Each structure stands twice: as C-alpha cells, then as structure tokens.
Amino acid sequence: MTIKNYINGELRDALSNKIINVVNPSIGKVYGTLPDSDSQDVMLAIEAAIEALPAWKILSFEQRFDLLLKLANGIESRMNEFVEAESMDNGKPEWLAAQSDIPRAISNLKFFASAQMNFPSESHHTPNQGLNYTLRQPIGVVGCISPWNLPLYLFTWKIAPALAAGNTVVAKPSEITPYTAYLLSTVCIEIGFPKGVLNIVHGLGAKVGQAIVEDKRVKAIAFTGGTVTGRAINIECAKQFKKVSLELGGKNPNIIFDDCDFEDMMATTVRSSFTNQGQICLCGSRIFIQKTIYTQFKEEFITRINQLTIGDPKTNVNIGAVVSEDHMHKILGYIELAKEEGGTILTGGKRYIPEGECRDGFFIEPTVIEGLGHLCRLNQEEIFGPVVTLIPFDTEENAIEMANSTPYGLACTIWTENVKKAHRVAQSIDSGIVWVNTWMVRDLRTPFGGMKESGIGREGGFEAMRFFTETKNVFIKY
Ligand code: NDP
C-alpha cells in the first residue's frame, strides 16, 4: 500500500520522494508507506488552498451541502474498505470501526453539511440609532491536525465544519494512522470534489504539522492531540495572533456512588474503561467508588474484565492491539511505575501474546490497579491505554476534590440515582463534558472540549461553525 498526499486535487508523493513505513500494530509488521513530506509539500498545499478559496467561499449553501453529502456517501459506499483500513492501521477491532469510527465520520460530514444551512447570525437593534447585524464569514485557509486514536472520526470532526463554513483546508492526519484519510482523498477524486479545497499532507508532526502551524497564510489551527504538542502549537499561534482550537489530553474521573443502578453502571464502566484499548480521550481512567460498595464493585469488575477477549482485530474480540510498539512500551512503563508507587495490580499488567498471525502484535491485557493515592503520578498523568485505577471515597466532597485534582478537565462520568446529587456534582466538576448514568453519548449539536490542560475552545455544533468563521459586526444608522 502506497499512501500519497492529496494536493490540488491530485495524488502525489513528497517532493523529496522520501517515505515513512506504516505498521499494522496487530501483527507488528509494515504494511505500506506514506510520504515523508516537509515544508515544501505544505507550501504547495497552502498555495492550492489559497487559489481554491474565492470560488469555494461564495458557493451557495445548497452547492456546499451537495458536495459534503457526496463525500459522506462516497465513504458509505466503500464502508468495508474503510472499516478494514481503520482496523489495520490502528489495531482496533473491525466491529468497533464498523459500529463507531466510520459511521461517525459519515455523520460528521452530513451533520456539518446541514449545520451550515442552519447557522444563524444575530441582529441587535440599538433604539433610535440603528441596527447591528453580525456577519460570520469564512476565515480563509485553515489547518486541521488530528491524532491516531480515532483516525477518520477525528479527521472529519475537523475538516467537515472547516469546509462547511466556507474555508479551504490543509489537513494532516497522524503519521501513525494515515490510511483512511488517504482513502478519503480517493473519494474526493471519485466524486469530483473541487481541486484545492481540501488538501491532505502526510508526514511527521514536527515537519508537516509544524509547517502548517508556522505559515502565516494559514489563518486558524484546529488541533486534537496530546497536551505537550498542543502547548507548542498554542505558543506558535499566540506569536501570530492566529485563531486556535485545542482538544487535548484527559485523565477522566468516573465517580460511582453507592445509590447507582449497579448493573447499568458495571456494564458501562467496563466499556468506558477499555473501549478502543482505553485509547479514547473520553475513557474514564480513574474510577472513584464509594467505600460502601468498593469491595462489591472490585470483585464484579475484575470478574467481568477477566472475561474480556483480546487478540486479532478481524475477529469478534473485545480488545485489539494498541496503536504502536512505542505506545505499548509507554503503557507498560506506566504499569511498572504503578508498582513502584505502591499500587497492586488486580488483573492484567502484562503484554499479551496471542497465538498465530498476531503473535508479534502490540497487545496489552486490560489492567486494573488499586492502592494508589490520587496525587501520585499514575493518577495524575495521561496513560492513554487499557489501564484504570480504583480509588475509594467517603463523601461527595471527598470524591469531587480528588476528581478535580489533576491538571486535566475533559470528561467525567457520575453514577447515582439521586437527581439532586447528580446536578450538584456535575456543577462542581472541572470538565467540559459530564455524563450522568451513561458514557460517551454524543449529540453532534453539543459543545465539545476540555477545561484546564485539556484544551482551549469548544467544537461541535455551532461552536465549531463559530470557530471556523470570522465574526464581524455591521452597524447601519437609521
Ligand atoms: P500528538 O500530540 O502526538 O499528535 C497529534 C497530531 O499532531 C499528529 O498528527 C502529530 O503528528 C501532530 N504533531 C506532532 N507534533 C507537532 C507539531 N510540533 N506541530 C504540529 N503538529 C504536530 O497526539 P497523539 O497522536 O499521540 O494522540 C493522542 C493524544 O490525543 C492523547 O493525548 C489524547 O488524549 C488526545 N486526544 C484528545 C481528544 C480530545 O478531543 N480532547 C480526542 C482524541 C485524542 P505525528 O504524530 O504524525 O508526528
């Protein structure tokens, strides 16, 4: 498989002709190459996006709607190909890509195709003087940079609103999982998507990502990824007064009160801990359990975790491979740290070696740890793998204090049947998203993003449309 850049409507190699290998993490072997692009390739993409901008931004709502819908339908018509590619690239089970990643990528495109038609602007009458109205105009060329955990899902989460709002785009998918973004560029060609409106440049973040962020002609950056990278991007954008939206890491609390619906909570907590091998920014990695049900929770949770199946993502397993060898070692390093910090591994804790074709793949047993204080490194730093900690608490105040004790503030889950308590805790938690008695139910109209070091700004719905437009007030004197 030879992955290529998509620039000005054409598939191209890097100008340098350099390539990078792409690995299938479930078998631990190289399956293809991608262009090792650099600033010269980014330059070409930006020039194409600048040229395409005037025609794209004056398209009618209907024309833009039709083109975005064609992209969505183009993915849908090649569903199996996209599902297999996502699973091979990322290590996630195929059923998960089929149920979640690819349908959600399609929804992103459909949703924002429609959102741009329904995006209102405001007017304000100033008594006896005149009328203000608000224009929300395209920003220009924007940069979209996305990570490897939900590759096409998060790639389209950025490019769909950016394009819908009338911008042209230079996008960089993660170098670790470039396949489905490449397939999307082939859909663009198939459906005759206008040249230069969407450009996809593959390669390393430090070269391609950085060149997109540093170029002054790129007027805004929408980034999803780690907090360290986000901070570097934010510094560069600040120098240029460039608009920036950052969706970063998390260390999400899952707070379980003794008055919850135990069965519902248990089934959901298994999912919120280990779906996608724990590599979802919204996974609950710190599980706070009220002391009165701690032992009952622990015994039942471990029993269920021990029933999870791991292995070949093509089969019906619960848990596939983590994304790369480096990431596997990072996660295993954190498990070692847990032991050094005095934690007890209740289950898991090791690399898992399946039989057959996947024996060299990067699998980790779902791991549950107890006995660690809430301020130790393991409970403060993002691991982003199949590792959760159990922490008992006495009171509501005690749970809130521990839950809020990290530098992150992305998502939180609260389990209680007491509606007053649910509202109280939801208000007191420092996070951009709170789920009560459920997890990861996403309505695309709602604001999405994090507090503290989990990011700046919100995307989703009209929040994304606002981010990807420049706001102008016009005042007309009576
Ligand atoms: P990284 O921050 O390593 O990378 C994200 C993207 O940024 C990649 O495409 C990467 O390129 C690129 N990049 C790296 N360096 C630079 C740079 N200097 N300038 C511009 N771009 C750069 O994150 P991961 O890919 O490891 O993704 C995992 C992280 O994403 C986790 O922390 C997770 O919490 C977070 N995340 C946050 C979400 C949210 O909504 N808040 C959702 C999903 C994930 P490359 O890797 O190809 O070199």
> In the prediction, which pLDDT does 253 show?
98
Catalytic site residue from 188, 237, 260, 281: 281
The residues pairing with 455 across neighbouring beta strands, listed in sequence order, are 247
Are 14 and 41 in contact by the 8 Å Cβ rule? The answer is yes
Catalytic site residue from 86, 94, 175, 247: 247
Query: Measured from the CB, is residue 409 less than 6 Å from ligand 1?
Result: no
Confidence of residue 173 (pLDDT cuts 50, 70, 90): very high
Counting from 1 in the atom list of ligand 1, the atom nearest the Cα of 232 is 18
> In the prediction, which pLDDT does 201 show?
99
Confidence of residue 262 (pLDDT cuts 50, 70, 90): very high
Ligand 1 centroid vs 229 CA: distance in angstroms?
6
Gap between the Cα atoms of 234 and 249, Å rounded: 14
> In the prediction, which pLDDT does 310 show?
98
Gap between the Cα atoms of 439 and 303, Å rounded: 21
Gap between the Cα atoms of 37 and 27, Å rounded: 26
Are 210 and 31 in contact by the 8 Å Cβ rule? The answer is no
Are 110 and 103 in contact by the 8 Å Cβ rule? The answer is no
Query: Measured from the CB, is residue 324 less than 6 Å from ligand 1?
Result: no
Output the residue whose Cα is nearest ligand 1's atom 21. Answer: 209
Q: Which two tokens stand for residue 338?
A: 């847990």
Gap between the Cα atoms of 155 and 171, Å rounded: 8
Query: Measured from the CB, is residue 9 less than 6 Å from ligand 1?
Result: no
Report the mean per-residue pLDDT for the chain: 98
Query: Measured from the CB, is residue 447 less than 6 Å from ligand 1?
Result: no
* 247 catalytically annotated: yes
Counting from 1 in the atom list of ligand 1, the atom nearest the Cα of 148 is 25
- Closest to 332 in 3D by CA, of 318, 346, 349: 349
Q: Please give the distance of CA 37 from its chain centroid, rounded to a whole number.
A: 23
- Closest to 42 in 3D by CA, of 209, 268, 234: 209
CA distance readout (Å), 171 to 152, 184, 189:
12, 12, 16
> In the prediction, which pLDDT does 3 show?
98
- What DSSP character marks residue 97? I
The fraction of the chain above a pLDDT of 70, given in percent, is: 100
Are 171 and 144 in contact by the 8 Å Cβ rule? The answer is yes
Ligand 1 centroid vs 147 CA: distance in angstroms?
4
Q: How many CB atoms lie within 10 A of CB 8?
A: 17
Work out the average pLDDT over 187-213: 98
Are 362 and 90 in contact by the 8 Å Cβ rule? The answer is no
Query: Measured from the CB, is residue 222 less than 6 Å from ligand 1?
Result: no
Query: 41, 104, 145: which to mutate for ligand 1, most atoms within 8 A of CB?
Result: 145
**Phi and psi, residue 457, nearest 5°:** 85, 170
* 281 catalytically annotated: yes
Please report which helix (H) or strand (E) contains residue 121, including its range.
none
> In the prediction, which pLDDT does 470 show?
97
Q: Tens digit of pLDDT for each residue in 130-161?
A: 999 999 999 999 999 999 999 999 999 999 99
> In the prediction, which pLDDT does 421 show?
98
Q: Tens digit of pLDDT for each residue in 294-323?
A: 999 999 999 999 999 999 999 999 999 999
Work out the average pLDDT over 406-435: 98
Please report which helix (H) or strand (E) contains residue 320, including its range.
none
Q: Which two tokens stand for residue 164?
A: 């819908």
Q: Which two tokens stand for residue 173?
A: 């998918």
The fraction of the chain above a pLDDT of 90, given in percent, is: 100
Gap between the Cα atoms of 3 and 459, Å rounded: 29
> In the prediction, which pLDDT does 199 show?
99
Confidence of residue 257 (pLDDT cuts 50, 70, 90): very high
Counting from 1 in the atom list of ligand 1, the atom nearest the Cα of 410 is 41
- Closest to 120 in 3D by CA, of 170, 188, 61, 66: 61
Please report which helix (H) or strand (E) contains residue 6, including its range.
strand 5-7
Output the residue whose Cα is nearest ligand 1's atom 35. Answer: 225
Ligand 1 centroid vs 382 CA: distance in angstroms?
13
Output the residue whose Cα is nearest ligand 1's atom 16. Answer: 205
Count CA atoms within 13 Å of residue 282 on its CB side. Answer: 18
Query: Measured from the CB, is residue 177 less than 6 Å from ligand 1?
Result: no
**Residue type at 259?**
D
Counting from 1 in the atom list of ligand 1, the atom nearest the Cα of 230 is 2
Gap between the Cα atoms of 133 and 156, Å rounded: 31
Strand segments (E) across 88-179: 123-126, 130-138, 141-145, 168-172
> In the prediction, which pLDDT does 290 show?
98
Gap between the Cα atoms of 39 and 60, Å rounded: 33
Q: Tens digit of pLDDT for each residue in 13-40?
A: 999 999 999 999 999 999 999 999 999 9
CA distance readout (Å), 380 to 5, 56, 277, 297, 471:
38, 45, 19, 23, 38
Q: Which two tokens stand for residue 282?
A: 């919204």
